[in-house]
Amino acid sequence: ADLSRFLKPSQFGWIQILNPEVFGALITVNNRDEWIYHVTYNPSNGESPEDFSEERCCEILKKAIGVSSLDIVIFSILPWAAAEQTATRFQDNRVFLIGDAAHLMPPTGGFGSNTGIQDAHNLAWKLAAVIHKQAHPRLLQTYHDERHYAVELTTKYASDLLFSVIKKGVSTLNSMDHTAVTVGYKYNSTAIIKENSDTPHRMDQLEL
């Protein structure tokens, strides 16, 4: 449906819609006439993806957008489940896991791409150094040591954000600084020269 007339001159990437009849998230594809709408269902209440017929989805969308006369064309109706999982190990001999192979997290917070890029950055220069015989292969072991803790905290934070929104509650992780989770990590491994400080590094707030 063409929603551009409602947006001018504004644009957005993601917006949460909450009213007495619907609760979900509208995500843009082109900020004009292609969109994705996420709505939850509860299997424990007997609900299933089969409950979402094209007719019902059109009604949900009209209630979410607030316009009953919209001409809506649905391309697809697909179920998915949010997941939070971090691999136990990021390395097994010559095999290294990065990105979605190493960790799964809900899209809340937008941490997935950042975390995967950080994995690749951490591993790439180490692989290059070992391949070019500028470093001992033991350097590669620090990839897991440095990334695992930061990734585990990030996946838990993303999951916590999602379920605190769904349950409309306050989470134990809600006090964490979003930017600190994204870029405030600090590595600890045998490749790092430690600072002379007994104060552990915190990833829940920025230290400027």
Most confidently modeled range among 11-15, 33-37, 183-187, 196-200: 33-37
Distance between CA 174 and CA 109 in Å, rounded? 12
Same fold, 4-65 and 85-183: no
3.40.50.410, 3.30.9.10, 3.40.50.300, 3.90.1150.10: CATH of 4-65: 3.30.9.10
3/8 Cα distance (integer angstroms): 9
85-183, which class in CATH?
alpha beta
pLDDT digits (tens, 9 = 90+) for 67-115: 999 899 999 999 988 889 999 999 999 999 999 999 999 888 889 999 9
Q: What's the pTM?
A: 0.72
Start-to-end CA span in the chain (Å): 46
- Structural domain boundaries in the chain: 4-65, 85-183
